[in-house]
Amino acid sequence: MKKKLKIDLPEFVEIGDNKLKNLFKILLFHKLKFKEILLLGDSKTFLLGGETIASIFKKEKIKILKHLISNSDEENVENIKKFIKEEKPDLVIGFGGGKVLDVAKLAAGKYKTKFISIPTILSNDGIASPVSVIKDKNNIPISHITKAPHGVIVDINIIKKAPIRHIRAGVGDLISNLSAVFDARLAQSKGIEKTDSMALTLAEAGPISLLQFKNKSIKNNEFLLCLAHGLIKSGFAMCTVGSSRPASGSEHKISHSIDYLYSPRKTLHGEQVGIGTIFTMSLQKNEYLDKVKKLYAQIEFPQNLKHLGITEDEFIEVIYNVKNIRPERYTILEDKKLTPKEIKKIIEETGL
């Protein structure tokens, strides 16, 4: 008898204005009990709102422990794990970007401590997923499956303060799902692997909604709400299958290959997968490619290799190195096995 997959979804999601100032009430409404909280952030996010969060709980006579996360690496994860083991907080709150949330999520998951994800930027779908991306000793980002956040709280007032570059990166990460879902269905059509169809539908729902959204002003409230909902749906899709498969295909392999060959990187994850998506969607003959390029132009998302800091020849090397990245995950790149000439042709045709 086939073992039933345990679905580990967040218990609640709150998205809207002024969520931060109502944080205590939100947690009580969702029946969370706590006497001691570990608040994790970085030097910037504590100034942005971390200290406000701390003061809210102090007024309610809740013991608040604060800890700075300096990087999303193994050392920081181990430090937070040790802190959680010693202090045994009832709740861990991560307030920050991907760096803070990934470390907090993985460390809290180790001791099954309830974790509340409060993003300050919408740069990737890790805000609600069971995946933490942590740099190893060689500074290479490695994905780890852990427990999804117990709750996700997105305050649009906070998100609007984020650098536009990070919001664009979130768009790139969400749009990349269209490439990833195509790859998953391709693998399924060839009998190589099977991914739950509902998870794939959920993963592509967010980017399709974003493409259909009329007002593409990047700091428009409704646009940010659409982006937030899409990234959370993407996280949920990963939760339902227990892996990143619905949101990570050939375009993520390209990004990981870039990280491996040309680390350290100055570009954001969402920028790398977003640009990689143009290449993979062209190869897939993906029906959404033209709409994606139009959206990218409207929000001034980077669409060339120059932004990635790599040359055409280096990109060819990136594509050839993809075979070493998650070889068990079949994508359009394994299906086509491109020659250097074919890679250059796609670069030329797409304007990369």
What residue ranges do the domains of the chain occupy? 12-159, 164-350
Average pLDDT on 314-337 reads: 94
pLDDT exceeds 80 at position 308: yes
Q: Model confidence at 7, in pLDDT bands (50, 70, 90)?
A: low
CATH architecture, range 12-159: 3-Layer(aba) Sandwich (3.40)
Residue range 297-305: mean pLDDT, rounded: 94
pLDDT tens digit string along 252-278?
999 999 999 998 788 999 999 999 999
pLDDT of the residue at 126: 86
Q: Do domains 12-159 and 164-350 have the same CATH topology?
A: no
Q: Residue 52: helix, strand or coil by DSSP? A: helix
In single-letter form, the type of residue at position 215 comes to: N
Would you tell me how many other CB atoms lie within 10 Å of the CB of residue 60? 11
Q: Would the pLDDT of 221 be above 70? A: yes
Residue 143: which pLDDT band, with cuts at 50, 70 and 90?
confident
Residue 229 pLDDT greater than 60, yes or no: yes
Q: Where are the beta strands (DSSP E) in 21-124?
A: 36-41, 63-68, 91-96, 114-119
pLDDT at res. 315: 97
Distance, first Cα to last Cα, the chain: 49
- Using CA atoms, how far apart are residues 257 and 18, in angstroms rounded to an integer? 40
Does residue 35 contact residue 92 with C-beta atoms inside 8 Å?
A: no
Q: Are 281 and 292 in contact (CB under 8 A)?
A: yes
- pLDDT of the residue at 2: 39
pLDDT at 133: 87
- Residue-by-residue DSSP string for 245-258: GGG-SHHHHHHHHH
- Label residue 137 by pLDDT band (50, 70, 90): confident
Q: What tokens does 29 get?
A: 């409404």
pTM: 0.90
Report the chain's mean pLDDT, rounded to a whole number: 93
> Is pLDDT above 60 for 3?
no
* Average pLDDT for 59-87: 94
The three-class DSSP label of residue 332 is helix
The domain 164-350 having CATH identifier 1.20.1090.10: the answer here is yes
Structural contact between residues 308 and 275, judged by C-beta atoms closer than 8 angstroms: yes
The residue assigned the tokens 């009998």 is 191
What is the per-residue pLDDT for 1? 33
Using pLDDT thresholds of 50, 70 and 90, give the confidence band for residue 4: very low
- % pLDDT > 90, the chain: 87
